[in-house]
């Protein structure tokens, strides 16, 4: 097991900055998800950990060992970092059986025949692919190929496992199955794991810790519960959760956060709300709509889209209103950073169209 530290990590492509001063401390044995929209820098971060890309500033440590130093230009080659990486594409050797594919990295690393046989049997069982051992990659399904690729990666017992959107080529059902499978494999290996995705549901389901990234910056690092319950920025509050928090913008650019289940639909409420759609979830309904009077579009004021949780469905087009609790759960300043939640400022009153 390996603690991973990113210390002031920066990356530029030419004069184009991709990462700004990223500090992260990933505990031994954690399953960390790098989460964020396209272009936020998550793959670049993973590629720097993997040794496929070099940082322009800052350092990466695996345990006490500096594996990349952007300021000095020192890097440890990928093959000497004690890591395994799983990509979207499985890249199995087509002329080798499943067993030989998994055995290959152990052979390269110089393991004895007895140790190799024992370890290959162990990971075949771990990934529940024992009965496929003598087949060739073309004779098994895409999901099975991904299991073989994972088995091959974990076989040499790397201290660090890196995953670059490994499930994105699988269909929706298989993705959900494989997600649980990967968590089980992570627990069985104990390897510190870093997993890149833009899918917040996947992140929340798998991670012990999540780093939410935007524009090359880590907006927040914490456990799924911390991020859901105490988002540090308006972006985190709007990106995570099904549904995400209800954010209402004040005239000064600040935003008030309300928990979606604390906001009621009530024609007598203070904020006009037009229903767009209702989706059933676990016996309740997510009702999405636009806040503000219909005429506000014509007046140039944009209408905010929010989702609340209700007991029943609401017809699309219904004009009703939001009834808010007495005070917001948190307030974010115009810079998006969280102001003290317990003392919301008077200027943070949401827009009343």
Residue 13 beta carbon to ligand ATP: minimum distance, rounded to whole angstroms: 3
- SS3 call for 30: coil
CA distance 29 to 190: 5
CB closest to ligand ATP, residue no: 43
Query: Does residue 42 belong to the site contacting ligand ATP (CB under 6 A)?
Result: yes
Selected from 6, 9, 40, 271, the binder of ligand ATP by CB under 6 A is 40
Query: Does residue 36 belong to the site contacting ligand ATP (CB under 6 A)?
Result: yes
- Residue 252 tokens read as 């000064």
DSSP label at residue 233: B
Query: Does residue 55 belong to the site contacting ligand ATP (CB under 6 A)?
Result: no
Query: Does residue 225 belong to the site contacting ligand ATP (CB under 6 A)?
Result: no
Residues 6+ apart with CB under 8 A from 81: 50, 51, 62, 67, 160
Selected from 21, 43, 243, 296, the binder of ligand ATP by CB under 6 A is 43
Subset of residues 177 to 206 that bind ligand ATP, contact rule: CB under 6 A: 198
Q: Pick the piece of the chain touching ligand ATP (CB under 6 A) from 10-18, 137-145, 177-185, 323-331.
A: 10-18
Burial 51-67 (b: 16+ CB within 10 A, else e): bebebbbbbbbbbeebb
Residue 57 beta carbon to ligand ATP: minimum distance, rounded to whole angstroms: 15
Q: How many CB atoms lie within 10 A of CB 38?
A: 7
Residue 36 beta carbon to ligand ATP: minimum distance, rounded to whole angstroms: 6
Pick the closest to residue 11 from 71, 90, 99, 74 (CA basis).
71
Query: Does residue 39 belong to the site contacting ligand ATP (CB under 6 A)?
Result: yes
Residue 129 beta carbon to ligand ATP: minimum distance, rounded to whole angstroms: 29
Query: Does residue 214 belong to the site contacting ligand ATP (CB under 6 A)?
Result: no
Subset of residues 59 to 118 that bind ligand ATP, contact rule: CB under 6 A: none
Query: Does residue 242 belong to the site contacting ligand ATP (CB under 6 A)?
Result: no
How many residues sit close enough to ligand ATP to count as binding (CB under 6 A)? 12
| Backbone region of residue 187 per phi and psi (left: phi > 0; alpha: psi in -120 to 50; beta: other values) | alpha
Selected from 1, 13, 108, 334, the binder of ligand ATP by CB under 6 A is 13
Residues 6+ apart with CB under 8 A from 15: none
CA distance 323 to 270: 6
Residue 128 beta carbon to ligand ATP: minimum distance, rounded to whole angstroms: 30
The total number of residues written for the chain in this structure: 353
Interface with ligand ATP by CB under 6 A: which residues?
Answer: 13, 16, 18, 36, 38-44, 198
């Amino acid at each position: 097991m390996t603690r991973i530290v990113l210390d002031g990590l920066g990356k530029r492509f030419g004069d184009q900055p991709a990462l700004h001063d990223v500090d992260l401390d990933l505990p031994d044995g954690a399953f960390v998800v790098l989460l964020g929209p396209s272009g936020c820098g998550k793959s670049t971060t993973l590629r720097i950990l993997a040794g496929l890309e070099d940082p322009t500033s800052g350092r990466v440590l695996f345990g006490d060992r500096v594996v990349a130093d952007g300021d000095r230009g020192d890097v440890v080659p990928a093959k000497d970092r004690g890591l395994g990486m799983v990509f979207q594409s499985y890249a199995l050797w087509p002329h080798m059986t499943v067993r030989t594919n998994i055995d290959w990295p152990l052979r390269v690393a110089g393991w004895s025949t007895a140790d190799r046989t024992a370890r290959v049997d162990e990971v075949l069982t771990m990934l529940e692919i024992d009965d496929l051992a003598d087949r060739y990659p073309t004779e098994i399904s895409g999901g099975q190929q991904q299991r073989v690729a994972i088995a091959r990666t974990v076989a040499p017992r790397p201290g660090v496992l890196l995953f670059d959107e490994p499930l994105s080529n699988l269909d929706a059902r298989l993705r959900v199955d494989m997600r649980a499978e990967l968590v089980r494999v992570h627990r069985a290996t104990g390897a510190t794991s870093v997993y890149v995705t833009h899918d917040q549901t996947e992140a929340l389901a798998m991670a012990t810790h999540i780093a939410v990234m935007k524009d090359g910056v880590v907006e927040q690092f914490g456990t799924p519960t911390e991020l859901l319950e105490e988002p540090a920025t308006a972006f985190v509050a709007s990106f995570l959760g099904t549904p995400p928090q209800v954010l209402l913008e004040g005239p000064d650019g600040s935003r008030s956060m309300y928990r979606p289940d604390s906001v009621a639909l009530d024609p007598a409420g203070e904020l006009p709300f037009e229903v767009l759609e209702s989706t059933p979830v676990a016996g309740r309904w997510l009702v999405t709509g636009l806040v503000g009077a219909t005429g506000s579009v014509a007046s140039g004021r944009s209408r905010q889209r929010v989702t609340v949780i209700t007991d029943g469905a609401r017809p699309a087009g219904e004009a009703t209103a939001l009834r808010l609790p007495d005070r917001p759960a948190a307030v974010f300043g115009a810079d998006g950073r969280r102001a003290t939640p317990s003392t919301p400022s008077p200027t943070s009153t949401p827009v009343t169209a």
